[in-house]
Amino acid sequence: MDLKKLLSKMTLEQKLAQLTQVNANCLTVGASEDITGPEQEVSLTKADVASAGSTLNFENAAEGIRVQKEHLELDPNKIPLLFMHDVIHGYKTIYPIPLALGASFDTDTVEECCAMASEEMTVGGVHVTFAPMVDLVRDPRWGRCMETTGEDPYLNCDMARAMVRGFQKSGKVAACVKHFAAYGQSESGLDYSATDMSERTLRDFYLPAYKAAIDEGVEMLMTSFNILNGVPSSGNKWLVKNLLRDEWGYDKIVISDYNAFREMKALGFCETEKECAKLAIDATSDIEMMSPCYLQNIPQLINEGVVSEEQIDEAVMRVLRLKEKLGLFEKPYLYADPKAEEEICLCEKHRDIARRAAEKSAVLLKNDNVLPFNKNAVKRVAVIGPFADRVMLGNWLCHGKESEGISALTGIKGLLKNAEVLYSKGCLEGVNESDCSLVEEAKALAKECDAVIICAGEDYKMSGESMSRAELRLSPAQKTLIREVGKVNKNTAVVLFSGRALVLTDIIDDINALVLAWQPGTEGGNAIANLLFGEVNFGAKLPMTFPRSEGQIPAYYNCYRSSRPYEGPYGCWYIDMPKARLFEFGYGLSYTSFEVSAPELSSLTMNKGESIEVSVNVKNVGKMAGETVVQLYIRDDFASLARPNRELKGYKKIFLNAGEAQRVIFTISEEQLKFWSINNKFEAEEGSFTLWVNENGIVNETDGVKFNLLSKK
Ligand code: BGC
C-alpha cells in the first residue's frame, strides 16, 4: 500500500477521523438511532462516529466483522478501522492480575500469558491491547496498583519487556504501553490526582519501564490522565515531543486516555476545547480517545495558521503505518474468527497456562507449621469466607466470566476426591462489613474439621480504576471471622485475595498460615488447591511492600537513607509503632528453605566499561523441591547526589530439588550503576558500592560486600 498516495487523496476531515477513536457502543447503536449516554456528553456526532479511524471495547469477533464491513462500505478511502481493547490480564482466559505477575519474578511465565491473551484477542478481532501498564507504584491506596507490576524499576522494566514480547510476538497484535507518565504516583493515592516530582526521581524510578517497552518495540503509547509537574500529559510538549519523540526516538502512535484531551479544561489548563486540541497536537499526540477536540477544532486552527497540516499528516501517517503493518489493508477482518474464538478461548492449554501463572505468583507470607495440608490425611475440610465460592478474576477482566472459572471451593473439592469439603460463607464481602452474624456457623463448622481454609481479603471490584481506598485493612467482619475460627481450629490457613498491598498488622498474629493469592483469575481455585495441599510449592516474592499502617505510606524499599536511621529520640522513627514495614519487597516463604552463601566477587575493583561477576551458592536445605528468587541489591555508597538505601539490580528464579545446590552468577556492568546524575545524564560515578544477595528481600547491613568502581583503564 502506498501510504503517501493514500494520504494525498484524503481531505482534512478524513485525516482527522483517523485521529479519532470512538467507543464500540457508539458503533453498535442502530443506524437510525441517535447517539445517547456518555457519547452524547462528549458531543460526538453520528458523522464523527461513522468516519472514526479506530474503536475500543468490542464484544466479539462476529460483531467486529459486521462493524468493519459497514465501515468499509461507508469509508470513501476504504481505510479499515483499528479495534482496540483493554486486554490487561487475559481476553477470555483470565490469568492473574499484573501485580501478581510481578510477584512471579518469572518473565517466561509472563510472556507466555501475554502470548496466550494475544492469541485469543486475535481471533476475537482485536488488533491493539491497551497493555502493558507499567506505572510504578508506591502507594497501595491507589486502586490501580493491581494493573502494575509493583514498586521496583528494575523488575518493572523486565516485566514490561516480557509483556510486549508476549503480546506482539505473533505480529498480529500491537501492544500499547501506558500511562505516560508517572500516573502511579497519584497524590494521596487518589485516582486522577496530580503528580509532582523532580526530574531526577522521574528519570531514575518512573520512566525506565516505559522506555524498556519502547526499546522492546511496543507499537503504541498512551499518555496519562494526570498533571505532571503542572502540565497534563495529553498536552505536555516537554514529555511527549521533547523527551519521548526527540530524546528517545519514539516515532509510533501516541494515544490519549479516555476523554483526556477535553479533561485538560477541567484540570484548569485549557479554557476551550480548541486550546486542548492545539496543545495536544503541538505535543505530537496522535489519536484522541472519545472526545472530539481535534475533529471540531483543528480545521479552524489550520485556517488561523497556528497548526500546520503537516502536523496532522505526520500523526495520520503513524496511524496508517500501524494499519499497514498489522496487515489490515489486505485483510480488513484480519484474523477475527467467531469459530476459532469459540474453540481457542478457555481451551485446556490456556487454562493450564493461567493455572500455572497463578501458582507461580501466589506468595506464602506466613506459615507456622500449618501448610501444606496433607491431602491423604484430611477427612473433613472447611472452606470458609466471603470469597470461598467466588472466582476472583481481578478487575479489567475483559471478556472473562466468573461462571467460566474455578473458585477456591471448587478447586479444593476437585483435588480432594476422598475428603468431605464443606462450605460456610462466614460474612459478606463489603469493604466495611461489620455484621458478624454468620461467624457462629463458620466456627461450628471449623470445629468439626481437620483443616480450615478462610478465603478473605478484598473483592476484585475494590481495586482498579477509580478504586482508591483510604484504609487498607480487612473488614471488621472478616477480622472477627479469622480470629474466632482460628481460636477453635489451629489448623487454619488464610487465603488472601487482593489487588494491592493491604495492612494486616491487626490480624497477622491471629493467623497461623497466610497465602497471598492476589486476584488469580479463571484458574485461581485450582492453583490455590494445589498450593495449599503441597502439589506445588511457593516461589513468588512481593513486588510491593506491605506497610504496617496506612501512616507509613509511601512504603517502598528503595528509598533514600536517613542521617538518623535509628529508632529512638531524635531518630527517624514513629513514636507510636515500629518503623519496619510488615512485609518487605522481595519477601516470600516456601515449603522448603534455601541457604545463600556469602557473595564472592571476581574482583573487588571494576573499571568503567568493564564488568565483574558476583556469585553465590544457593542450596535447598529443606525436604521439598521448589523455586526461589535469588536477588541482587546494590547501593552506591557515596555519590554527587544521595543514592537509595539499596536497589534491585538483578534476580534469578531458580528451581532446586531437595538437597540440591546451584551456583548463581550475576554480572555487574557499568550500566547497572548508572543514575540521573548532577550532570543531567545517566552515568555511573567512581567510588565505593555495597552489594547484597538474598532470596527473601531481607538485607542485613553487615552482610554487604564492597567493591570499587574506577575510571576507564
Ligand atoms: C483507562 C485506560 C484504559 C482506557 C480505555 C481509561 O479510563 O485509564 O487505562 O485503557 O480507559 O478503556
Expressed in angstroms and rounded, the spacing between residue 324 Cα and the centre of ligand 1 is 25
Q: What is the dihedral of CA 159, 164, 169, 170, to 10 degrees?
A: 130
Neighbours of 378 (CB within 10 A): 18
Expressed in angstroms and rounded, the spacing between residue 130 Cα and the centre of ligand 1 is 8
pLDDT score recorded for residue 439: 98
Expressed in angstroms and rounded, the spacing between residue 258 Cα and the centre of ligand 1 is 6
Give the mean model confidence (pLDDT) for residues 460-475: 97
Neighbours of 640 (CB within 10 A): 12
CA distance 549 to 708: 38
Ligand 1 nearest atom to the CA of residue 130, by list position: 10
Confidence of residue 474 (pLDDT cuts 50, 70, 90): very high
CA distance 174 to 678: 37
- Exposed e or buried b per residue across 187-214, where buried means at least 16 C-beta atoms within 10 angstroms of its C-beta: eebebbebbeeeeeebbbbbbbbbbbbb
Cell of 244: 519521548
pLDDT score recorded for residue 59: 87
From the number of C-beta atoms within 10 Å of its C-beta (0-12, 13-18, 19+), residue 256 rates as: buried
pLDDT score recorded for residue 32: 42
Name the residue with higher pLDDT: 31 or 332.
Answer: 332
Residue nearest atom 7 in ligand 1 by C-alpha distance: 258
From the number of C-beta atoms within 10 Å of its C-beta (0-12, 13-18, 19+), residue 703 rates as: middle
CA distance 692 to 708: 15
Question: Checking phi first, is residue 43 left (phi over 0); if not, alpha (psi -120 to 50) or beta?
Answer: left
Residue nearest atom 2 in ligand 1 by C-alpha distance: 257
**Cβ–Cβ < 8 Å for 615, 710:** no
Q: Which of 465, 467, 468 to mutate to test the pocket of ligand 1 (most atoms within 8 A of CB)?
A: 465
- Per-residue pLDDT reduced to its tens digit, 657-671: 999 999 999 999 999
Q: Which of 26, 221, 257 to mutate to test the pocket of ligand 1 (most atoms within 8 A of CB)?
A: 257
CA distance 367 to 283: 53
Long-range CB pairs of 547-550 (<8 Å, 24+ gap) are 547/140, 547/472, 547/501, 547/503, 547/581, 547/582, 548/503, 548/505, 548/577, 548/578, 548/580, 548/581, 548/582, 549/503, 549/505, 549/577, 550/141, 550/470, 550/471, 550/472, 550/503
Expressed in angstroms and rounded, the spacing between residue 234 Cα and the centre of ligand 1 is 14
Expressed in angstroms and rounded, the spacing between residue 396 Cα and the centre of ligand 1 is 10
Residue written as cell 495558521?
A: 305
Four-residue CA torsion sign, 280, 282, 283, 289: positive
Residue nearest atom 12 in ligand 1 by C-alpha distance: 86
Expressed in angstroms and rounded, the spacing between residue 393 Cα and the centre of ligand 1 is 18
How many H helices and E strands in the chain?
23, 27
Per mean pLDDT, which range of 22-36, 215-229, 455-469 is the poorest? 22-36
Expressed in angstroms and rounded, the spacing between residue 599 Cα and the centre of ligand 1 is 44
- The DSSP line for 471-538 is --SPPHHHHHHHHHHHHH-SSEEEEEE-SS----HHHHTT-SEEEE--S--TTHHHHHHHHHTTSS--
- Per-residue pLDDT reduced to its tens digit, 345-368: 999 999 999 999 999 999 999 999
C-alpha separations of 545 from 183, 357, 501, 632 in Å? 19, 21, 7, 17
pLDDT score recorded for residue 31: 44
Residue nearest atom 5 in ligand 1 by C-alpha distance: 258
Tell which residue, 667, 682, 546, has the closest CA to residue 612. Answer: 667
Question: Cis omega (within 30 of 0) on the bond before 599?
Answer: no
- Cα 162 to the chain's mean position, in Å? 12
CA distance 674 to 660: 36
Give the mean model confidence (pLDDT) for residues 295-309: 98
pLDDT at 27 over 80: no
**Cβ–Cβ < 8 Å for 255, 287:** yes
pLDDT at 270 over 50: yes
Ligand 1 nearest atom to the CA of residue 57, by list position: 12
CA distance 242 to 654: 41
Is residue 692 within a helix (H) or strand (E), and if so which, with residue range? Answer: strand 687-694
Residue nearest atom 10 in ligand 1 by C-alpha distance: 130
626-636 vs 647-656, strand pairing mode? antiparallel
647-656 vs 661-669, strand pairing mode? unpaired
**Cβ–Cβ < 8 Å for 411, 453:** no
Residue nearest atom 8 in ligand 1 by C-alpha distance: 257
Tell which residue, 95, 81, 35, 592, has the closest CA to residue 349. Answer: 95
Is residue 85 within a helix (H) or strand (E), and if so which, with residue range? Answer: strand 82-85
Expressed in angstroms and rounded, the spacing between residue 257 Cα and the centre of ligand 1 is 6
pLDDT score recorded for residue 423: 98
- Cα 588 to the chain's mean position, in Å? 19
Tell which residue, 54, 84, 77, has the closest CA to residue 2. Answer: 77
Give the mean model confidence (pLDDT) for residues 687-701: 96
Ligand 1 nearest atom to the CA of residue 176, by list position: 10
pLDDT score recorded for residue 34: 56
Backbone dihedral angles phi then psi of residue 338, each to the nearest 5 degrees: -55, -35
CA distance 469 to 554: 14
Expressed in angstroms and rounded, the spacing between residue 223 Cα and the centre of ligand 1 is 10
Give me the count of residues in the chain. 713
CA distance 517 to 359: 9
pLDDT score recorded for residue 48: 76
**Cβ–Cβ < 8 Å for 204, 247:** no
pLDDT score recorded for residue 33: 52
Expressed in angstroms and rounded, the spacing between residue 260 Cα and the centre of ligand 1 is 10
Neighbours of 678 (CB within 10 A): 12
CA distance 463 to 223: 21
231-232 vs 227-228, strand pairing mode? antiparallel
Confidence of residue 655 (pLDDT cuts 50, 70, 90): very high
DSSP SS3 for 411: helix
pLDDT score recorded for residue 334: 85
Expressed in angstroms and rounded, the spacing between residue 483 Cα and the centre of ligand 1 is 39
Ligand 1 nearest atom to the CA of residue 179, by list position: 9
Neighbours of 304 (CB within 10 A): 10
Give the mean model confidence (pLDDT) for residues 163-182: 98
pLDDT at 35 over 70: no
**Cβ–Cβ < 8 Å for 353, 481:** no
pLDDT score recorded for residue 42: 60
Q: Which of 87, 88, 258, 291 to mutate to test the pocket of ligand 1 (most atoms within 8 A of CB)?
A: 258
626-636 vs 600-601, strand pairing mode? unpaired
pLDDT score recorded for residue 43: 67
Tell which residue, 398, 500, 539, has the closest CA to residue 149. Answer: 500
Give, in degrees to the nearest 5, the angle at Cα 391 between 388 and 395.
Answer: 125
What one-letter code names the amino acid at 521?
Answer: G
Termini Cα distance of the chain? 53
pLDDT score recorded for residue 51: 83
Catalytic residues: 257
Ligand 1, CB cutoff 6 Å, lining residues:
56, 86, 130, 178, 257-258, 465
pTM of the model: 0.97
pLDDT score recorded for residue 39: 57
Name the residue with higher pLDDT: 374 or 28.
Answer: 374
Give the mean model confidence (pLDDT) for residues 126-141: 98
pLDDT at 198 over 60: yes
